[in-house]
Amino acid sequence: MTHRFLIMGPQGAGKGTQAALLAQRAEVPAISTGDIFRANIKGETELGKLAQSFTSRGELVPDSVTNDMVRDRLGQQDTAEGFILDGYPRNAAQVEALDGILADLGWSLDAVIVLTADRDELLGRLSRRAELEGREDDTAETIARRLDIYEQETAPLIDAYRARGLLVEVDGIGEIDAVAERIDVALAAR
Ligand code: ADP
């Protein structure tokens, strides 16, 4: 059985944490576009320099750049049994691009996990994360911008994936282990 999953949800909903845990359980790589951009920014690569001009403002990196990067990453050897994509796709054009990438590889998605959380909880989590991690893009302004982009561009994708029968919605509020357990139960109930 393959494990080709997307994990979606607003910033601060715990996507990265749950993606990493689920990746361990499913023995597939967790692929976070945000992490790949941050690694490139740290390494001062050309991609990193380009990405930083957008990430530092809380804006999305241009689709062409992000789509090529994901195509490249999914084409690597370790994704044969599956993957968990975290932070991608984030808009309708990226959904279309991902459809094309997967079609070229002869693959289809197994499930789209959505972590839900209310905005107050998210803002609290994000300001704590800003203190702990000191991410450049975790200022009050960029956080608000990212949440707005999420609401306008990314949240509508949930309906599209629901219409395809792929959606698995999980309450993201609670202890990390409890949320992980909910994800397992929800995936098993598909
Ligand atoms: P968050 O979910 O908290 O916004 P991420 O780590 O997922 O953080 O992403 C950090 C930044 O990287 C985003 O604000 C955006 O600039 C860029 N980024 C990540 N994923 C994408 C994507 N799919 N398309 C465009 N830009 C992206």
- Tell me the average pLDDT across 105-117: 97
Atom 12, ligand 1: residue with shortest CA distance: 34
Examine the pLDDT at 189 and tell me if it is beyond 90: yes
- Residue-wise pLDDT for 159-184, tens only, equals 999 999 999 999 999 999 999 999 99
The set of protein residues with a Cβ atom below 6 angstroms from ligand 1 is 11, 33-34, 37, 54-55, 58-61, 66, 87-88, 90, 94, 137, 146
Q: 84, 111, 100, 80: which is closest to 26 by C-alpha?
A: 84
Q: How many domains does the chain have?
A: 1
Mean pLDDT of the chain: 95
- Residue-wise pLDDT for 11-63, tens only, equals 888 999 999 999 999 999 999 999 999 999 999 999 999 999 999 999 999 99
Instruction: Kindly give the pairing relationship between strand 30-32 and strand 3-8.
Output: unpaired
- What is the residue range of 39's domain? 3-188
CATH of the domain at 40: 3.40.50.300
Task: Please report where in the chains the tokens 């393959």 appear, as a residue.
Answer: 2
Q: What is the pTM of this model?
A: 0.94
How far, in Å, is the centroid of ligand 1 from the Cα of 140? Answer: 16
Assess whether 38 carries a catalytic annotation.
Answer: no
Assess whether 125 carries a catalytic annotation.
Answer: no
Confirm if 116 and 169 have CB atoms less than 8 A apart: yes
Q: Tally the C-alpha atoms within 13 A of residue 157's C-alpha that lie toward its C-beta.
A: 24
Atom 1, ligand 1: residue with shortest CA distance: 11
Assess whether 49 carries a catalytic annotation.
Answer: no
Instruction: Kindly give the pairing relationship between strand 82-86 and strand 3-8.
Output: parallel
The count of other CB atoms within 10 Å of the CB of residue 69 is 19
Q: 37, 85, 72: which is closest to 58 by C-alpha?
A: 37
